[in-house]
Amino acid sequence: MLKANRTEKEVKNLPTRIASKKSSSANKLPSIKCSSCGAEIVLVQNVKLVSEAVEAHVESHRSKIKNPIRSEAEAERIRDDLITQVFKTAGEHKFARNSKRAC
């Protein structure tokens, strides 16, 4: 459980950090952009990392809204937006070609 927490923290920083360097040509990995705040999430070739990064970003939006009903609706909207982009972008880049199953 502790290990899972640690990786979750690393995941939270990793993909968005890479994107913030603005090295779009050097960085060949595709990325998606949150339509609400413009934050980028890099689609690393690890589905689990990407989905955790999406969840971490959804959580960051959710935590900004105090009203639980509104925050839940916002979280759903952001998640929907990001996941749609993940599939669309991943399809364009044939992203899942090399996927290895860890479990």
Q: Which residues would be at the binding site for Zn ion (CB under 5 A)?
A: 34, 36-37, 39
DSSP state of 10: H
Task: Report which residue type is found at 34.
Answer: C
Please, are residues 55 and 63 in contact by the beta-carbon 8 Å criterion?
A: no
Nearer Cβ to Zn ion (6/17): 17
Nearer Cβ to Zn ion (40/45): 40
Nearer Cβ to Zn ion (36/99): 36
Instruction: Give the nearest distance from C-beta 1 to Zn ion in angstroms.
Output: 28
Dihedral sign, CA of 91, 92, 96, 98? positive
Nearer Cβ to Zn ion (7/36): 36
Instruction: Give the nearest distance from C-beta 103 to Zn ion in angstroms.
Output: 29
- By beta carbon distance, the residue nearest Zn ion is 34
Instruction: Give the nearest distance from C-beta 81 to Zn ion in angstroms.
Output: 9
Q: Report the DSSP pairing between strands 31-33 and 40-42.
A: antiparallel
Residue 36 C-beta-side C-alpha neighbours within 13 Å: 15
